[in-house]
Structure 1
């Protein structure tokens, strides 16, 4: 996890340190993820999250995010909902406990609020 300074930061080009996902979460490929926390001083956390191509399952936190770059399909396994294609400018709201599968086709970078 990368900590950022209080001053403004150009997040599009921010260098993030990636780590592999747990093997139990990976469905296809060898995706890695990275996180940079922008602010965690209150009841919410705001940060940058990135995932490289591949497919991985996740149990979601209560989150709102905006895709900055990349492309992915989010499959909603529980509750069963229609899959969602996301790309730059997509705004998505996830509820805590949702089970999802993320298929990233182009490294996805998002700013999130949890």
Structure 2
């Protein structure tokens, strides 16, 4: 059995790479960076650390997601118009195919698991 431990400081300081296929040409579009982490024996599991700068973008992820906000704040408004604010310490669960718009108010960083 292998156990990985990440301290709050390690998650906050972890270097992240610009996400591929993110179009940054429009003014106000949030820049997004991430680092995927792995779990032995679970190559299909997708989890890691993600961050976004101030701005907006659409969420188009087909998978469900569990996220824990490390720093920053944002508002997510789903396609039905329901808005939810997120701040440090919040844990959110998005059902599969949750679509909508992120408005990042302060640079945000989260730990995520896609399921």
- Give TM-score, length-normalised by structure 2: 0.78
- In structure 1, the partner of 2:23 is 22
1: CA distance, partners of 2:67 / 2:32: 16
Cα pair 2:60 2:98 within 8 Å, conserved: yes
CA drift at 1:7: 6.0
**After the TM superposition, which residues 60-79 of structure 1 pair with which residues of structure 2 at under 5 Å, given as runs?**
60=61, 61-77=63-79
Cα pair 2:56 2:103 within 8 Å, conserved: yes
CA drift at 1:76: 0.6
- In structure 2, the partner of 1:89 is 89
- Give TM-score, length-normalised by structure 1: 0.78
Name stretches of at least 5 consecutive residues in structure 2 with no aligned partner: none
Cα pair 1:52 1:106 within 8 Å, conserved: yes
